[in-house]
With several copies, the nearest count.
Chain A
Amino acid sequence: MAQRRILFTINHAPFGSIHYTEGLRAVVGATSGIDEHEVDVLYLGDGVYFALRGVDRSDTLKYIDTLAQAGRKLKVERESLQERGIAHQDLAPDVEVIPRSAVRDLIAQADFTAGF
């Protein structure tokens, strides 16, 4: 029985699989228990396509709003963006680009990770 910090990584691109939205539902769910776990959301690999400005968010908006109200930003690995040729101006304004060194900090802070 303890509060944990969980790093949720989202590796699946939208919309080929449902992990892009059900991963966020699980993130919000993880904060819903009695221990009110701390969560980080990190997009890696093909998951970073979710950060594109024009992505249809109709299925994810409510989870993103809930996380935003709790002060949680969606983090996106810079190296994954670069490998895919995604520039800063292509991104939605509410995502935070972090370098791989900061990914290592998130890992260091996490008690657990969950991959989606």
Chain B
Amino acid sequence: MANLYLIDKPFADSALGLAREDPDAEVVLLQDGVYLSVEPLLAARKKVYAVERDVERRGLSSKIGNDVKLIDYHQLVDLLFANKVLNFA
């Protein structure tokens, strides 16, 4: 069971800081959170997901890296129940 950080942009600084140093962290970017730079997370070998709808409507599909896994809401629900949710949205 991971610590699943749900991250939107307004609280990104503290949420990303926590997640980066948390050995059990996985991150879900949602809403404006999909604009965030995830290099530090990936460098720290964290698994990063992004909500596909939020990426697509913002025109970011071609800009987001292959190392970020796009998920739909059904996959998100599975992640929510399989992990401990850290709410930063």
Using a CB–CB cutoff of 8 Å, the interface residues on chain A facing chain B are 9, 11, 13-16, 44-47, 49, 52-56, 77, 79-80, 83-84, 90, 100, 103-104, 107, 110, 112-115
Contact = CB atoms under 8 A, between A and B. Distances in A.
Interface size class of B (residues with CB under 8 A): 20 to 34
Interface in B1-56: 3, 8-11, 13-15, 17-18, 21-22, 31-32, 35, 54, 56
Contacts, number: 80
B57 A55 contact: yes
B88 A115 contact: yes
15 contacts: A9-B88, A11-B11, A11-B14, A13-B32, A13-B35, A16-B9, A45-B11, A46-B32, A52-B60, A54-B60, A56-B59, A104-B21, A107-B3, A107-B86, A113-B87
